[in-house]
Amino acid sequence: MPSYNRIGAVKITVAILRYLSEQRQPVRGQDVADAIGQKHSLTMSYLVSLEDEGLIRSVGGCYELGTGLALLYARYKSLLEGKIDRLQRELQELEV
């Protein structure tokens, strides 16, 4: 399998989402920047982009996870449940 380059923007995005997932309350952009080791201006660009996509939300100038991540998880879970149902039916057919 070929070796591919890792994309730094993805790593930063995931670092932001992980950091926010660990917080009990909304946090300032500067706190996010400090936590992930990036400049404030760059971090704010990521935060507003993630907010535009519904993955995080702004609350009084601070940030927390948004419902977009829950929606992605719900879709994934639904796909897995569909696969389980299909496999269970196939198993039942084999048992007959």
HEC-encoded secondary structure of 65-76: ECHHHHHHHHHH
Q: What is the largest CA-CA distance in the chain?
A: 64
Question: Does residue 52 register a pLDDT over 80?
Answer: yes
Helix (H) or strand (E) holding 64: strand 62-65
Whole-angstrom Cα distance, residue 66 to residue 17? 10
Say yes or no: 2 and 22 in one domain: yes
Domain count, the chain: 2
Say yes or no: 46 and 91 in one domain: no
Say yes or no: 46 and 84 in one domain: no
Question: Does residue 50 register a pLDDT over 80?
Answer: yes
Q: Given pLDDT bands bounded at 50, 70 and 90, which one contains residue 22?
A: very high
63 forms beta bridges with 27, 58
Average pLDDT over residues 66-83: 93
Question: Does residue 96 register a pLDDT over 80?
Answer: no
**pLDDT for 95:** 83
Higher pLDDT, 54 or 1: 54
Say yes or no: 31 and 74 in one domain: no
Indicate the average pLDDT of the chain. 94
Read off the pTM: 0.81
Phi first, then psi: give them for residue 61, nearest 5 degrees: 85, 0
Domain boundaries, position 80: 67-96
